[in-house]
């Protein structure tokens, strides 16, 4: 089942999957040791439905930068996406349909976490998502329930696993398709660039992408932005045109099928949304 080339991920991040509120996350708190803030950091939540999976190979990805102050858990940036292994291209799709996460709040009690997520693009009111999990090392495992998120606006439930995400760094190469003539709901003409992109993630989830392009565009360009778990959003100017790229980083290749790879999307319709047109896959060394 193919998805349209233009897949959009609702943002409160600025923006997903992706649903992104711009603002960095402080990876460590003053006067607080890491042992006192075990849930602080960049996480990827992989939620699997045990009631109504759409289909069974599809899972929901929620990328979140969490801060912890005492027992209070808050998100500074959140993105959402879907993964499906049944032949869709790309396999990781920006969240465009139902249940795009825009924020997470919760309460920590030692190694236990209870949280709720705010969602956008819901089919019913109320629309809610709650989870409970236990931290073991760098993994949170637990269960979740939701209402008003699926197409029927009904109830859903399942299990989730959350893991700390690695920093995005290194050089990645590949061929990316660009939109030369964007129109409402699509693109009428396309270009192609061979890309060598050096990613460097700094403090507070800031990201710099230094790219060398040849093809439709030629030269060296720098884009800047931020990361949210395994999702990023960067913007800048290429060949005199303002651009905004988003992407999904898969270090293990579990979702994209290629180890140390990045799916890249171009914001050609609405630069407040992660998603847009799938440009292609970049692969690291």
- Is pTM beyond 0.85? Reply is no
Please report the pLDDT score of residue 120 as a whole number.
Answer: 76
**Lowest mean pLDDT segment, chosen from 46-55, 93-102, 163-172:** 93-102
Q: Residue 186 corresponds to which tokens in the numbers above?
A: 């699509």
Whole-angstrom distance, CA of residue 108 vs CA of residue 37: 9
| Nearest to 103, CA basis, from 226, 19, 25, 16 | 19
- CATH T-level topology, domain 169-284: Lipocalin (2.40.128)
Query: Hey, do 6-164 and 169-284 end up sharing a CATH topology, with the first three levels equal?
Result: yes
Contact 42, 25 (CB under 8 A): yes
Q: How many angstroms from the chain centroid is the CA of residue 10?
A: 11
* β-bridge partners, 247: 232, 264
The model's pLDDT over 122-159, given as tens digits with 9 standing for 90+, comes to: 666 667 789 999 999 999 999 999 887 655 556 788 99
Residues 278/265, Cβ–Cβ less than 8 Å: yes
Is the pLDDT at 198 greater than 60? The verdict is: yes
The winner for highest mean pLDDT among 58-67, 127-136, 209-218 is: 209-218
CA distances from 113 to 107, 196, 215 (A): 6, 40, 49
Q: Which pLDDT score, from 0 to 100, does residue 54 have?
A: 61
Query: What φ, ψ does residue 206 adopt, rounded to 5°?
Result: -75, 150
Helices in the chain by DSSP H: which ranges?
Answer: none
Model pLDDT for residues 70-128, shown as the tens digit of each residue: 999 999 899 888 888 777 889 898 776 556 788 899 999 999 999 998 887 666 666 77
Residue ranges per domain, the chain?
Answer: 6-164, 169-284
Residue range 6-164 in CATH 2.40.128.30:
yes
């Amino acid at each position: 089942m193919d998805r349209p080339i233009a897949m959009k991920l609702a943002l409160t991040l600025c923006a997903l999957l992706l649903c992104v509120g711009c603002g960095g996350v402080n990876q460590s708190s003053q006067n607080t040791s890491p042992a006192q803030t075990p849930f602080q950091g960049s996480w990827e939540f992989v939620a699997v439905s045990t009631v109504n999976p759409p289909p069974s190979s599809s899972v929901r990805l929620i990328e979140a930068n969490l801060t912890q102050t005492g027992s209070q858990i808050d998100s500074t940036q959140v993105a959402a996406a879907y993964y499906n292994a049944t032949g869709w291209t790309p396999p990781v799709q920006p969240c465009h349909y139902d249940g795009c996460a825009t924020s997470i709040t919760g309460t920590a009690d030692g190694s236990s976490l209870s949280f709720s997520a705010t969602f956008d693009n819901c089919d019913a009111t109320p629309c809610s998502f709650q989870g409970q999990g236990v931290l073991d090392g760098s993994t949170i495992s637990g269960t979740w329930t939701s209402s008003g998120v699926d197409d029927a606006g009904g109830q859903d439930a399942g299990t989730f696993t959350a893991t700390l995400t690695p920093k995005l760094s290194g050089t990645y190469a590949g061929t990316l398709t660009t939109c030369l003539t964007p129109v409402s709901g699509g693109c009428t003409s396309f270009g192609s660039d061979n890309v060598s992109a050096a990613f460097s993630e700094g403090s507070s989830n800031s990201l710099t992408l230094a790219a060398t392009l040849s093809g439709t565009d030629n030269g060296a360009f720098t884009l800047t932005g931020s990361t949210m778990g395994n999702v990023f959003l960067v913007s800048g100017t290429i060949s005199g045109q303002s651009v905004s790229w988003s992407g999904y980083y898969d270090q293990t290749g579990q979702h994209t099928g290629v180890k140390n790879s990045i799916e890249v999307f171009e914001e050609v319709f609405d630069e407040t949304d992660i998603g847009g047109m799938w440009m292609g896959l970049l692969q690291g060394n």
